[in-house]
Structure 1
């Protein structure tokens, strides 16, 4: 699902954003996205099909195929197009319903616009019928629900939280030793929730699919970000592999930096795949969860080495690289493809991460370098928090991912009762460029 288009406010849904989407060579029609050059009767069927499946966005005024050197964004008369679509919905849909329409003008005096149609499966009646049939959405095309699918649609509650998947993760917990004392400096968690296809709802995880996900993670930006967090002191690591609690519907893939006793693993990353246990038919669609936990023990590792010259704080650049690596890994095409294969869904339904959880064993101010930061008198302390993402941002785009990371760091500083984080972030960005 292109969540940036679905979640953007009308003011943020600009023609520049739409042109950028249409120009992406990897952006094709999918379960949740369709381009239409102009109004046609089939457009109403597509609206119903999306409403009966996962929802989506239809952009009218864009050709579905582009010739080399031509602009896909051709535009339409917005009011005439909306009137035709609304009329078709009133005439065809049982029960009556219509989606949201947002005209996005070219702004060049031509009078042309792209009409964005948002189909929200959470608000649409289910099933939405046309001529006593229920259209459904397959990969980039429409089909018709068979008897079993129609019965499921009739039993289903609205597809709660399918489109904004990615929020509602459980907060992580710090590890503790036999005496109940924390073994970690902090744990950082992000992840996604996602719907499941019919096959994934009953089949167990296969060793092949779990291994393929591990290989995709090894090739992502995450291992490099983890090694960077070690400030050059970590030169050995063990790549993502099954470790710990792995079951038929749970996979746990672990990356570990190799240290020495008593802190054998100064950094760990744990990717957990949880498919829901199915106990008979239910009214709500099953939801899978993918979480990525980064567990850092660098301060403890430095202390155990007795190296007083090593800074026992986490520099801003390392935190930037870590957060960027986490997000970049979860939108990496290879990782997304393997997640989609496990859940038996289209890659378009693999949400982007929209939450970051941090829990620390000490006040956050004690984890950050003091240079450039100043404690605000009486501001109190913070042991972490939950940081929401801006749903308008497309985290596949380096500049927008950078914007999100910067927002999180500014919030981290403010929640810790510190001033100066905004200036530090600006100075850092002035000397770097977004990485793809």
Structure 2
């Protein structure tokens, strides 16, 4: 069983939890939270009814979601909220309803979560995955869609959009399809940085988030969450002593009513004033008179490093006379810091608040881009990395994440980072990266 420590404060999200982690304790904790009301992706039902099947269709036609059967939708004083149901009877009713009411017939995933008091009652967890549902799902020749805490009927434009989707096409490229970054260049066309790293996620938009401008308070809260995350420490390590102070994340550059740009800058008195920069950008979609519920927000996390240029500017020529090279453990720590920040509960909560969705819908990064100003093998330092003769060159790459890994769990996040470093080494035409990473992990374990 996975450790639950990493899930604390993650709004008790059950949508992504494995079956073994679906416990009545976690469900009771979710139901007890005053902020976990019915929403775009969450609904409570005390028992089965035909409206439950309509909600399944509505979630399938929108962003998916979760229905908990056996929980009263209102938490009233003096009444028990988690009441439970007969699991087998309820699941049979849901299956029958999905078969007779939905067009085409379709079943979501069901999980029976029994009480721990011997009563024989359970909460039935229904997970609606919009990426695998046949869309549109119709109820009485109409396509229900999900709004914040309620169901509605798709208008003509939304119905046509659903009907035109390719079979098995993803509703939302959650965490995928992050646009590759470009290195900034000077007036002569030369790169101004050693490399840029980018990861990011794509997000659905809640009903209010689709029309309202960004909240200054919410953007400031996100900046504070970023400053309190693992990100600044990782950036400091990447700097390798190139700076002693930094601005912290704050609004800088292109900020508009639907775009927030938060920038962290290292401070240096050298000709390279910012050896390390990080930019977190949230872009809400521009919607003009559209009633579509498929609007997508984007979050990108960029790290721009100029540490090699800083070292050259102060004549700090080290490592075999070829200039500064990045120690592999520094990159390892940077990768981990970026991923840990992207799944940090407080960061996730603020992103969810800005986009008006449940924190459970904030996807995990599934892609990392690297663009360098030279061959990657010329940027890395280690006395155990060896060039493979005739292997060619690489000035970057796209690193995919294993979708089976939960990046909120430290061990699985570490596994992903290690895989990315191995790919980085091989793509650069180097051997020895696997042994180097294993050695670092072993030393780190001894120091715990």
TM range (shorter): 0.7 to 0.9
Distance (Å, rounded) in 1 between the aligned partners of 2:174 and 2:25: 21
2:159 maps to: 154
- 1:137-163 per-position Cα deviation (integer Å, ceiling 9, x unaligned): 756xxx332x6x556653442686445
For 1:333, the equivalent position in structure 2 comes to: 345
The alignment status of 1:92 with 2:97, answered yes or no, reads: no
Contact 1:202 1:278 survives alignment (8 Å): yes
Q: TM-score w.r.t. structure 1 length?
A: 0.79
| 1:251/1:273 contact within 8 Å kept | yes
Q: Which moved more, 1:40-49 or 1:168-177?
A: 40-49
CA distance in 2, matches of 1:267, 1:428: 24
Which residue does the alignment assign to 1:222?
231
- 202, 205, 209: which is aligned to 1:196? 205
Q: Quote the Cα distance in structure 1 between the aligned partners of 2:24 and 2:234.
A: 28
**Distance of aligned partners of 1:286 and 1:132 in 2 relative to their CA distance in 1, 3 Å threshold:** closer
Q: Distance in 1 between matches of 2:221 and 2:215?
A: 10
Separation of aligned partners in 1, 2:227 and 2:400: 27
SS at match of 2:364: coil
Q: Which residue of 1 aligns with 2:130?
A: 120
Secondary structure in structure 2 of the residue aligned to 1:371: coil
**1:263-284 deviation digits (Å, cap 9, x = unpaired):** 0100000111212222332767
The runs of 5 or more residues in structure 1 that have no matched partner are 8-12, 65-73, 105-113
Aligned residue in 2 for 1:399: 411
Count the aligned residue pairs: 409
The match for 1:320 is 332
Identify unmatched segments of 5+ residues in structure 2: 1-9, 74-84, 113-123
Deviations 1:214-259 (A, max 9, x none): 1121111111110111123321111111111122222211100011
- Alignment of 1:144 with 2:156, yes or no, is no
Shift of 1:424: 1.2
Residue 4 (structure 2) aligns with:
none
CA shift, 1:204, in A, is 2.3
The partner residue of 1:167 within 141, 162, 176 is 176
Change (3 A) 1:280 1:41: closer
**C-alpha distance in 2 between matches for 1:91 and 1:313:** 65
Q: Deviations over 1:140-193 (max 9, x none)?
A: xxx332x6x556653442686445411111111112112111111100001111
Alpha-carbon distance in structure 2 between the residues aligned to 1:14 and 1:344: 26
- Root-mean-square deviation (Å): 4.1
2 CA distance for matches of 1:433 and 1:45?
Answer: 51
**Inter-partner Cα distance in structure 1 for 2:399 and 2:446:** 21
Q: How does 1:5-404 map to 2 (within 5 A)?
A: 15-16=19-20, 32=41, 44-56=53-65, 85-93=94-102, 95-99=103-107, 101=109, 118-120=128-130, 123-126=133-136, 128-129=138-139, 134=144, 136=146, 138=148, 143-145=150-152, 153-157=158-162, 161-281=170-290, 285-309=294-318, 312-404=324-416
SS in 2 for 1:208: helix
SS of structure 2 residue aligned to 1:348:
helix
Distance 1:435 1:47 in 2: 49
1:372/1:300 CA distance change after superposition, 3 Å: same
State the alpha-carbon separation in 1 of the partners of residues 24 and 278 from structure 2: 34
Tell me the alpha carbon deviations over residues 263-308 of structure 1, each in whole angstroms, 9 at most, x when there is no partner: 0100000111212222332767221111111000111111111123
Show CA shifts across 1:78-114 (max 9, x none). Answer: xx98765433211122x2221355889xxxxxxxxx9
Q: Does the residue aligned with 1:251 lie in a helix, a strand or coil? A: strand
Question: Do the aligned partners of residues 117 and 212 (structure 1) sit closer, same or farther apart at CA in structure 2, a change above 3 Å counting?
Answer: closer
TM-score by length of 2: 0.77
8 Å CA contact 1:127–1:153 kept in 2: the answer is: no
